[in-house]
């Protein structure tokens, strides 16, 4: 057993882990009790498990917990609050994007990263950023509108 300290949403947390190759997703959900990100496919293909590591959207189901010590991990809960949502979260609400919300971590955290790199993205840039995400509700058009709205608010 080894101890690993993770900084999640600005808070340092120390965990005892048996396997350093355990997916970060399991540490976040099982050890820290976070309800986002979510387990989707377990193969890094759907995006439901997305978190940001040092500002980059990554699949936590494919990221070994040992690889993220001394790095900044941000979950959907760490980018805004109900009282002061992140501009992307506010735009998501205004555009009424999600139906079930299962995939929301991937879409919003990817949008946040995109807007950091491209504050005024084109439709093609938005579509490209979302290319590897899956939403079974089919709210892709509303997600694109939300990113455009968030880019105009910045």
Please state, in angstroms and as integers, the Cα–Cα distance from residue 60 to each residue in 48, 51, 72, following that order.
9, 6, 13
pLDDT tens digit at each of 154 positions of the chain: 889 999 999 999 999 999 999 999 999 999 999 999 999 999 999 999 999 999 999 999 999 999 998 899 999 999 999 999 999 999 999 999 988 888 999 999 999 999 999 999 999 999 999 999 998 888 889 999 999 999 998 6
Domains parsed from the chain with CATH numbers: 2-78 (3.10.20.30), 87-153 (1.10.150.120)
40 token code pair: 């989707």
């Amino acid at each position: 057993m080894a101890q690993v300290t993770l900084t999640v949403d600005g808070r340092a947390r120390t965990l005892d882990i048996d396997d350093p190759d355990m997916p970060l997703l399991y540490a976040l959900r099982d050890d820290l009790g976070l309800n986002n990100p979510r387990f989707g496919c377990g193969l890094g293909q759907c995006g439901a498990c997305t978190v940001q590591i040092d500002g980059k959207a990554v699949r936590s189901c494919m990221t070994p917990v040992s690889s993220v010590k001394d790095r900044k991990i941000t979950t959907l809960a760490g980018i805004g609050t109900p009282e002061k949502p992140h501009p992307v979260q506010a735009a998501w609400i205004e555009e009424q994007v999600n139906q079930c919300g299962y995939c929301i971590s991937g879409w919003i955290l990817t949008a946040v990263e995109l807007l950091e790199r491209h504050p005024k993205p084109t439709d093609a840039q938005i579509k490209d950023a979302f290319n590897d995400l899956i939403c079974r509700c089919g709210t892709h058009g509303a997600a694109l509108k939300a990113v455009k709205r968030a880019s105009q608010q910045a």
